[in-house]
Structure 1
């Protein structure tokens, strides 16, 4: 199964209404009417304005307080460890009703054919002054991490901005994207960056970037290379939502 049909269905809806508002059967899960803006058709990159509510931002910070540790990254052999290429701190998010609601929102955005079992546990990443994540892709280059037992490779990514306190720097840079030209993008994109540097999304709290990681044949799309640029002052917290190609076992993603 590919993600293309559901995503292009979403893009059709975006073209017609340019807003999303859903209410789940559970009255406790109410999705904001966030706005969607197409950044790039190929690779598919969409900007989401207002993806997280203020209450959700506060809840995520509260339930992960004092749980962060130095982020790990896999080397070319697939071995996880601490590297100078990634100097942030990270933590997995415990699944509760608020987190399930955010998961539901990510699934609805991707269409009706993406099951919950394809979602990895949500991850928060915290960056302080001088911390960064050097250029990387979210899809795995090592087959060990992309096997069918592991749910295949990462089909898609969301990166949402949960917190940004007195921050300068710390943007999310996609060097292979062509920058859009309309000045209204400057609310979300660093328009002072040189054109040849690609697109740098500013850390605007509550907003998110979505992209598709894989080509039609299932191989990784090199154009989704990106980096968490160094924070020069202040701090930020971001959230990763990753969707796999296939089913993830309960011992990997936890109980619903």
Structure 2
């Protein structure tokens, strides 16, 4: 599935012109339509493989030679999506992060890594269920803000900009033997707002999750959803390797691929948590895996 921005009328016209004119249209006309804007909403529908090829090549060429965050610029960026499951909603996002984003995010978070914690019995604490390291990311960092804006655009009307919040992002890192056992991202009881948070006096919960891979130099380390099954054939990478598989104990397991992300909805419409979104970070067998968590927050009166 390939994303096209703006209205469906423009999208249809664009696909028609792409089909007729091919790469010449993409090179000379497409940029002036501003369809790549990160502030636009994405509409996904099938594109011919020949057209998808040119979309992918454009992205790769634009993102060559990543600079450091000190010279970071938030450039227009295109990604593609594949719906894994409708109920619960789980979406695979190909190229959600560019090489430029990854380089700058790693630079921003590298000094902050510390043993990961989980929220239990009213406080954050260490646990043997989660053996990774985590690093908070500064929201005023240009690269962080760029990616958060992209996530907000992806969410569309799911968040009310006047009352909801994209939430503080976090890097998480796994080395050999490290894991995060089965867990869910939502809270059983909505959380009270804390000092400095939006919406004082209200409660909130994590309505959805993004999990984006930054570094994939590892074996193992899949993200496993035991209760999400799909009959769709898995997407494959440039080397023909599948991006996910049916896990032997049920559900679907997604291998870490730098730049790619998973998005899922944590809550039902009534605000209660969806147990089917339970997932696990399977142990890294060897090497290193680094990812980014984004947890959009829905506020309640």
Shorter-chain TM band: 0.7 to 0.9
Residue correspondence of structure 1 range 1-256 to structure 2 within 5 A: 13-15=43-45, 28-75=73-120, 77-95=121-139, 96-112=141-157, 114=159, 115=161, 118-144=165-191, 149=201, 151-165=203-217, 167-184=218-235, 187-191=242-246, 193-194=247-248, 196-246=249-299
2 CA distance for matches of 1:150 and 1:35?
36
Is residue 191–residue 205 contact of structure 2 (8 Å, CA) maintained in 1? Answer: no
Q: Secondary structure at the match of 1:227?
A: strand
Q: How far 1:241 moved relative to its partner? A: 0.6
Give TM-score scaled by structure 2 length: 0.69
Q: How far 1:81 moved relative to its partner? A: 0.5
Q: How far 1:112 moved relative to its partner? A: 4.9
- Which structure 1 residue ranges, 4+ long, deviate > 3 Å from structure 2? 9-12, 16-21, 142-151, 183-186
2 CA distance for matches of 1:178 and 1:146?
35
**Any gaps of 5 or more consecutive residues in structure 2?**
1-7, 9-39, 59-71
Aligned-residue CA RMSD (Å): 2.9
**Any gaps of 5 or more consecutive residues in structure 1?**
1-8, 22-26, 248-256
Greater displacement, 182-191 / 225-234: 182-191
Q: How far 1:190 moved relative to its partner? A: 3.2
Q: Relative contact order (C-alpha < 8 Å, sep 6+): which is higher?
A: 1
2 CA distance for matches of 1:51 and 1:187?
18
Spell out, residue by residue over 1:5-25, the C-alpha distance to the aligned partner (whole angstroms, 9 max, x if none): xxxx9998213669899xxxx
Q: What is residue 253 of structure 1 aligned with on the other side? A: none
**How many residues of Structure 1 are paired with residues of Structure 2 in the alignment?**
230
Is residue 74–residue 81 contact of structure 1 (8 Å, CA) maintained in 2? Answer: yes
Is residue 139–residue 154 contact of structure 1 (8 Å, CA) maintained in 2? Answer: yes
- Relative to structure 1, the CA distance from residue 30 to residue 112 in structure 2 (aligned partners, 3 Å threshold; closer, same or farther) is farther
Spell out, residue by residue over 1:165-217, the C-alpha distance to the aligned partner (whole angstroms, 9 max, x if none): 2x1110100000013341546631035x32x4211111010000000000111
Q: Larger Rg: 1 or 2?
A: 2
2 CA distance for matches of 1:51 and 1:183?
18
